[in-house]
Structure 1
Amino acid sequence: MSRDATFEEGRETPLYLAALDLEDLQVLSALSQDAVFPITEMRWQARARRFALLLNRFRWEDLPAAERHKRTPERVQTLLVIDNVLKVSSQGIDRSDKDLILSLLAVTFTPGEDGMGEVLLTLAGDGALRLEVEALEVTLKDVTRPYVAPSRKVPKHPE
C-alpha cells in the first residue's frame, strides 16, 4: 500500500548536478547566477585538466518568485568544476588584486569541432573567464549547509 510523503521526508538536500550538453548547462548557469567568490577561490589544475571555483551561490531554487518577499534569502558554498580544460584565459580581471570579489552572471558553451569548444564564465563588470575544453563536462556541487545571505536581499538586475 502506498502513502503520501510527509513534510519531514522532504528535507532539503544539497545540489549535485552535471552538465554534458547545452541544455544541462543552462540549468547550471541559472542556478549559479549571482554567485560571488573571492579571486583566491579559483584553481586550475593543468595536469588534471580541471578548473574549479568555490562559489557562494544564491539559492534561487529555494526562493520561488511568488515567495521572495516572505522568505529570508540564502546562499550556500558550492563547487563549480569544469573538466577537460586545455587552456584558461581571463579578461577584465586584475588577478594581482587578492582582495577582489567576483560575481558570476552566466556559464555558456560555444561548441567547436569534434566535441571541443569554449566554456565562458561571464562576470559582472565586464570580466570573463574563457576555458578551452576538449569536451563539455561541468559539475555543480553544494558543499556546505545553506546560510542566511549576508545582505538579506535577493540579487536584482536592471531590466
Structure 2
Amino acid sequence: MTDATFEDGREAPLNLGALDADDLKVVASLVQDAIFPTTEMTWQPAHHRFALLLNRFRWEDKGTAERRGREFERVQSVLVFDSVLSVASQGIDRGDKDTILSLLDVEFMPTDDGAGQVLLTLAGDGAIRLNVEALDVTLKDVTRPYRAPSGKAPQHPD
C-alpha cells in the first residue's frame, strides 16, 4: 500500500476568496493568462461590484496534465471584486465587442486605512484600475473544465 498523492484527491471547482494582498497573489496566479471578451466585464456601481467572466487556464492542473500525458484545460470562472468605489481603464475599446482581452496580473496597492487600488494588467498595454474601500475578491469556477483550444500551456518570454 502506498500513500495517497495530491493527484488522487477529488477535483472540484475552485471557489476562493481574497481579503488581503497575500490572498490576492494566489488568486492572481490562478487567473494569469485568462482571456475574456470586453462584453464580459460588468461594473455595478449601485452594488459596488466589478465582475469578469473569464476563460481561465487551469494552472493548478498543468503538472498533472503533463505527467499523465493529457490535454491542458481551461474553465469558465467568475472573478468578482466587491467594495469597489470606482473603475477606470486604459487601452480598452469597450465599443469593439469582438475584442478579446488577456489578463496578465492582478495587484493590490493598499492605503493606510485598508482601502486601496486593484490593478488588473492586460496584454497589449491595457489596464483596469479599481478603487476599493477594502479588498474583497472571489474567484469561482462556473463550468466544467474543457480542452484548451490551443492545446498548449501559455508561455511568457523571459
TM-score (normalised: structure 2): 0.92
Distance 1:81 1:68, change over 3 A: farther
Look up the match of 2:100. 101
Contact 2:65 2:71 survives alignment (8 Å): no
TM-score (normalised: structure 1): 0.92
Counting aligned pairs with the same residue, the percent is 69
Contact 1:63 1:71 survives alignment (8 Å): no
Cα distance in 2 between the residues matched to 1:36 and 1:67: 22
Distance 1:115 1:65, change over 3 A: same
Q: Deviations over 1:115-158 (max 9, x none)?
A: 11000000000000000000001110000000001111110101
Contact 1:50 1:82 survives alignment (8 Å): yes
Look up the match of 1:131. 130
Secondary structure in 2 matching 1:76: strand
The gaps in structure 1 that reach 5 residues or longer are: none
Q: Kindly provide the amino acid, as one letter, of the partner of residue 91 in structure 1.
A: Q
Structure 1: 4+ residue segments shifted above 6 A: 4-7
1:1-159 matches, cutoff 5 A: 10-64=9-63, 67=66, 70-159=69-158
RMSD (CA atoms):
2.2
Q: Deviations over 1:64-116 (max 9, x none)?
A: 28927933110000000000000000011111111100000011000013111
Q: How many residues in Structure 1 have an aligned counterpart in Structure 2?
A: 156
Distance 1:39 1:68, change over 3 A: farther
Cα distance in 2 between the residues matched to 1:11 and 1:49: 35
